[in-house]
Chain A
Amino acid sequence: MLNITEEKTISTDICIIGAGPVGLFAVFEAGLLKMRCHLVDALPQIGGQLSEIYPKKPIYDIPGYPEVLAQDLVNNLEQQIAPFHPSFTLGERVEELERLEDDSFRLQTNEGTEIYCKVVVIAGGLGCFEPRKPAIENLETYEGKGIHYIVKNPERYRGKKLVLAGGGDSALDWTLYLAELAEELTLVHRGSTFRGAPDSAAKVMALADQNKINLRLNANVTSIIGNGHLNACILSDNEKNTEVINTDYFIPLFGLSPKLGPIADWNLNLDKNAIAVHTEDYSTNIPGIYAIGDINTYPGKLKLILCGFHEAALMSHSAYRIVSGGKKPSFKYTTVNGVQTF
């Protein structure tokens, strides 16, 4: 079982930003050297791109696996690092990084969680997955005041009026789920059909036929009205007809897209959206901060999971000197020593 913590203050040896395959494997390499790790990820689950984008796709270039499904690889990594008891803060994004007087670090997330650590490892892939936002004026004004991009707590919508927008699986799935709770639900879709998940699409169509939801096809939410809190969405269809729908919440569900995010503001040397590192240990220009996996760059870089695994091993041996206060790590094979847990 994953140790997903709700603790607001965490103290650890290494804080790993990003719980994708490379961030997860770094826990193993750090663990062999008796270093404790805490991981933070903006997504609500571990696995990064593998779990979020292509869980059922086979991967063919993991050494020792002729073929492995992306989600299976994540599950195996979870099992592999379990002996080292990593802790996780999920669904939060690291916003601030501060170097303290003793050269350790304080990180803070968008939800106010603080992490104190001796070493920071950025294993953030292409950055944080953030919701795609429709181009609507004043959208930002009402974020959190009636506009939500992610359904975190469905109970919040009980007895409320909702407008959902989108045509993908998540728009369909949440429509089905929230139709039970909401007083009134309108689903707005730009297209005339739903191509994903035929089962869900058929159920949504059936709900619309029974007048349990309002379905608006070939339409877009083009503007919003509010006064401190969202009050209504204005829809336009292909024939430029407009309709005002009074609502408590507007939930645009247009999928997630990766953005580098706050990492760009931490004075790290960047090269085309990637963090420049030294190849002997994948350290950055700031002592104590490392970058491994798809987020780093160096001459000859290949964005492969297996390269990230290698980077995690070299990083750990270098980080040990910082965490241990200058000691040299002793190199041991797992075949000789087994996996010494703690």
Chain B
Amino acid sequence: MITLYVEENNGERRPIEVPTDMSLSLMEVLKASDYPVQATCGGMALCATCHVEVLDGDDKYKEATDPELEMLDTLPEVSDTSRLACQMRIEDEMDGLVVRILAQEEGYV
């Protein structure tokens, strides 16, 4: 088990306990924790509805992969540490990672 943190709008960092032996992606973890992540494409780096910003953690988690960068290129706004949560496989070294969810939610009920 590792602990990840999601920074809420008020700046509070909410912990999530995550098993590392289930081959989960961060997107799946966020969805399972009822965060507003649509994951329209189901984890193929094709829709950007699981867009997050890595606020703290190992530098290797702050760099997006090529398929992600292509997708992130299409968005109006990204940060230097923008990632698609679906492309982030949960592993032991992620312990303590802090993310903020940037995926657009405006307009949903």
Q: Which residues of A are in contact with B by a Cβ distance under 8 Å?
A: 49, 53-54, 57, 126, 130, 132-135, 165-171, 190-191, 194-196, 252, 254-255, 257-261, 264, 270, 273
A69 and B48 alpha carbons, distance in the complex (Å): 21
Cross-chain contact of B76 among A135, A169, A259, A273 (Cβ < 8 A): A135
Q: Which residues of A contact B104 (CB under 8 A)?
A: 132, 257
- Choose from A53, A166, A168 the contact partner of B41 (Cβ within 8 Å): A53
> Which residues of A are found within 8 Å of B77, using beta-carbon distances?
134-135, 190
Question: What are 11 inter-chain pairs, A to B, with CB distance below 8 A?
Answer: A49-B40, A53-B40, A53-B41, A132-B75, A132-B104, A133-B76, A135-B77, A165-B76, A168-B73, A196-B70, A254-B76
Residues 40 to 54 of chain B near chain A (Cβ within 8 Å): 40-41, 44, 46-49
Which B residues fall within an 8 A CB radius of A?
38, 40-41, 44, 46-49, 66, 69-70, 73-78, 104, 107-109
Q: B109, A270: Cβ atoms under 8 Å?
A: yes
CB–CB B73/A258 < 8 A? no
Interface of A (DSSP majority class): loop
Minimum Cβ distance to chain B for residue A126 (Å): 6
Shortest distance in angstroms between A51's beta carbon and chain B's nearest beta carbon? Answer: 12
Interface of B is mostly: loop
Is there an interface contact between A166 and B74, defined as CB atoms closer than 8 Å?
yes
Contacts of B46 in A (CB 8 A): 53-54, 57
> Which residues in A have their C-beta under 8 angstroms from that of B109?
260, 264, 270, 273
A195 to B69, CA, bound (A): 7
Residues of chain A within 8 A (CB-CB) of B40 are 49, 53, 126, 258
In the complex, residue of chain B having the shortest beta-carbon distance to the beta carbon of A255: B74
Distance between Cα atoms of A259 and B36 in the complex (Å): 13
Are A167 and B108 closer than 8 Å at their CB atoms? Answer: no
Chain A residues whose CB sits within 8 angstroms of the CB of B107 once the complex forms: 130, 259-261
- Residue on B with the closest CB to A49? B40
Closest B residue, CB atoms, query A125: B40
Query: A54 vs B45: C-alpha distance in the bound complex, in angstroms?
Result: 10
CB A172 to nearest CB in B, in angstroms, measures 10
**Do B41 and A255 touch across chains, with their CB atoms under 8 A apart?**
no
Nearest chain-A residue to B106 (Cβ)? A259
Q: Which residues of A contact B73 (CB under 8 A)?
A: 167-168, 191, 194-196
- Choose among B38, B70, B76 the residue that contacts A132 (Cβ–Cβ < 8 A): B76
Smallest distance from the beta carbon of B38 to chain A beta carbons, Å? 6
* Bound form: Cα–Cα A190–B104 in Å: 18
